Chain A
C-alpha cells in the first residue's frame, strides 16, 4: 500500500543470553505505514521475541547476541534509546493489571505525559481526548479495582496512544477477555486504525477472534522463522496453519471437512466476505451424511445445588436462587461474563465462602458442615494463574506436595508423580526448575499437582487461558482422559467457546447472579439472545450453516464437532 517500511527486519537473528540456540533465525520482514498485520504462531515460536524487538525491549532490557538489524522508522533499535523507541511504538501488554500503574484511570492514561513533563492543563485536555476515543471517558476517576478486564485494556491502549505513536503493538490482546469483550476490543483497534492511520501489529493465536476485523497480512512464525506472510484469504486456502499448530477459524475447518477446496478468491478470511454459495451444496451433502451422535449417559448426582444465594453485603447480591445438579462423569462448563458470579459459585462449592441461603450436596449429603480441607479431598480446584499455586522450586516437589501432606509413602509418590508427569507431557522437563518453564507448562504443573490426588470433582478455572492450540488440545485431551478413565467429574469455568463446544457436554450460563440457561454448548452458542447475555459470541458455524441453507444450526454444529473429535483422535 505505502512505500515506506516503518518496521524493517533485515536478516535478523537473535539469541537470548540465557539460551543455547537462537530464538529468531534470519528474519526478513517489512511492515509498511498504515498496515494492519497479525502475527500468529504457536507458543515458543518466537513471536513474543519478535514483538520485543519492535518495541526495543530487545536489546535494551533483554540482552543477547544479534546479527542483522531491525529498524523502526529507519532507525536501528540498537542505536536508538528505549525512550525514543517508545515514542514511536506503543505497546499494549497482555497483563491488564501489571501495566495499569496509575491509581485511577486518568492517571494511568497520563503516565507517559507525566514522565515527559507535559504541563498539567495540556495533560488534562489530552487525557480527556484520548479517553473519549477508547470510550472510557466516564471512568476517569475509577480505580483499577472497579474496572473489568476489557476496560483496563482500553485504558492501557489510551496510555500508549496518548503520545501519538506511529505503531501500536498488541501482545495477545484477547488472552484475558471474554469473547464479546474481545470482539469489542478488536473493533476498537479497527476503529483506531481507520481514524488515525496508525500501523497496527497484533500478536495473537486466537486467529478467528482476531480476524473479526480485516487484517492486511498474517505472518506465521514457526520455530523462530517466518513460514508464511500472506493475506488472510490466501492463508485460509492453504494448510500451513494446521501444520504449524495454529487453529483455523471454525467455519474454515468445517468447509475443509466438507471437502471444499478453498481458493483465495473465496475470500475466506472473514465469514462475512466468504463466497459460500458455490460450496453450499457440498456442505449440505456432507451434513446429511453425518451420523447422529450418540448421547452419553451419566451416573447419579455427585454435586447438587439448591436455592443457593449469596451476597457480599445486603445491597449487592452476587448469586440468587441457583439450582444445579451435576452427574457423575460429566464435563460441564460454567460460562458468563466476568463478575457474573462464576467464581463466587466455585468459592461457595469449595467452602471459601458461606452461602446466605440454600444447600450444596456432595453425593446426596449436605456439605455445609465440612471444612475447606475436607471438601478439598473430594473437590480439587485448579486456579487460573499457575504462579499463584506453585510453592516449590522443582517440578517434582510441586506435583508431589499433595501426596506428601497426606503421608503417602515416598516410593508410591515417585511412581505416581512419574506417571502424571508423563501424561502431562512434562516428563522431559522433570529436573528443571519450574521457573524455566513457560506459562503454559506451569499451568500443566498445577493441573498435575491436583490430578495426582484423584479427586471426584475437579473445578478448573480457565484451564486453557494463555495456551496455544497444541497445548490446549494436549491439556484438554488429557483432562478428558482423566474424565473417561477415572470418572472424575469436571467443572470448567471458562469463556473459551472452543473448549465449551469441543470438550463439554453441557454449559451452564450465569448472568447477573442468575442461572440463565443450562443446555448443550452447541445450543447455547447458536442462540443469539443467550450468547449476548453471557458475553459469548455466536459461533461462526451458525452463520455457515445458515448461509448453506441448513436450518438446524445446533445440529450442524454438533455434527461438525463430533466429526472433528472422531478425526483428531484417530
Chain B
C-alpha cells in the first residue's frame, strides 16, 4: 500500500473486476436497432472501477474483461471494440485523485468532474478509436461504423452518467468511516 506500483489490492481488483465485467456481459438493455449497441451495464462498472482503482486496473478490466467476455459468450473477439474499452478505462482512471471516492468525498464537484471526464473519454473511445479500428481491421463502411460509434457513445455516456455516478456515490458513502459514528437512543 505504500508504493505506487501494482499493489496486491490492484492485482485482485483487476481480477475480480474482470470477472464482474465478464459476468455482466449479457446484462444490457437493448435500445436501438444498430447491431452490438445497447445500454451496457458493464460500461458503468468499468467507469466505476477505473474511478476507484485508477488507470492500471481500468485498462486491464477493459481489455481483459471485454476480450474474455466476448470470447466466452460470443466465441469471437472484436479487437476494434476491445481496445476502446481499455482506452476508456485508462482515461477515466488517470484522474483517480480527482474523484476522492475512496476517501468518501465524492460530492457535487466530483460528480461534475467524473461526468465531464467520462463523456470526453467515451467520445475518444467510441467516436474516434472504435470506428477507426473498424475501418482499419474490417474495412467496414465508414458511415456505418461512425453511426455505430456515435450510438455506443451516447448509450455508454447515459449509462455511466446514471448508474456509474450512482455506483461511485454509493461506494463513496460506504467508505465514509469517520470517528464520528455514535449510537443514538
Contact = CB atoms under 8 A, between A and B. Distances in A.
Asked if chains A and B come from one complex, the reply is yes
B174 A20 contact: no
Contacts of B176: 433, 435
Contact of A20 (B1, B182, B185): B182
Interface in A195-209: none
Contacts of A19: 179
A61 B2 CA distance: 10
B170 A432 contact: no
Interface string A6-27: 0000000000001110000000
Contacts of A433: 173-174, 176
Interface string B13-27: 000000000000000
A18 B177 contact: yes
Interface string B159-185: 000000000001001111111011111
Interface string A366-405: 0000000000000000000000000011100000000000
Interface in B80-118: none
Given A20-B182, A428-B185, A429-B183, A393 B170 contact: yes
Given A393-B170, A393-B173, A433-B173, A20 B184 contact: no
A430 interface: yes
Contacts of A392: 170
A342 B184 CA distance: 40
B29 to A, nearest CB: 18
B174 A432 contact: no
Given A61-B1, A393-B173, A433-B174, A20 B183 contact: no
A295 interface: no
B177 A20 contact: no
Interface string A418-439: 0000000000111111111000
A431 B178 CA distance: 14
A435 B175 CA distance: 8
B1 A393 contact: no
A393 B185 CA distance: 21
Given A18-B179, A431-B184, A433-B174, 4 more contacts: A394-B173, A428-B183, A430-B184, A434-B174
Contact of A18 (B1, B170, B174, B178): B178
Contacts of A61: 1
Contacts of A429: 183
Nearest to B184: A428
Q: Which 3 A-B pairs have the closest CB atoms?
A: A435-B174, A428-B183, A393-B173
Contacts of B179: 18-20
Contacts of A430: 184
* Best-buried of A392, A431, A432, A435 by chain B (most CB within 10 Å): A435
B177 to A, nearest CB: 4
Contacts, number: 30
A429 B179 CA distance: 14
A59 to B, nearest CB: 12
Nearest to A19: B179
26 contacts: A18-B177, A18-B178, A18-B179, A19-B179, A20-B179, A61-B1, A392-B170, A393-B170, A393-B173, A393-B174, A394-B173, A428-B184, A428-B185, A429-B183, A430-B184, A431-B184, A432-B181, A433-B173, A433-B174, A434-B174, A435-B173, A435-B174, A435-B175, A435-B176, A436-B177, A436-B181
Nearest to B1: A61
Contacts of B181: 432, 436
Given A61-B1, A393-B170, A435 B177 contact: yes
Contacts of B178: 18
Contacts of A20: 179, 182
Contacts of A394: 173
Contacts of B182: 20
A428 B183 CA distance: 5
Contacts of A432: 181
A197 B1 CA distance: 35
A223 to B, nearest CB: 15
B59 to A, nearest CB: 23
B62 to A, nearest CB: 23
A428 B174 CA distance: 19
A393 B1 CA distance: 26
A61 B1 CA distance: 8
Nearest to A101: B12
Nearest to A391: B170
Contacts of B174: 393, 433-435
Nearest to B174: A435
Interface string B138-178: 00000000000000000000000000000000100111111
Interface in A483-542: none
A433 B182 CA distance: 12
Contacts of B170: 392-393
Contacts of B1: 61
A393 B167 CA distance: 10
Contacts of B175: 435
A19 B182 CA distance: 10
Nearest to B179: A20
Contacts of B183: 428-429
A433 B171 CA distance: 11
A434 B177 CA distance: 11
Nearest to B177: A18
Contacts of A393: 170, 173-174
Contacts of A435: 173-177
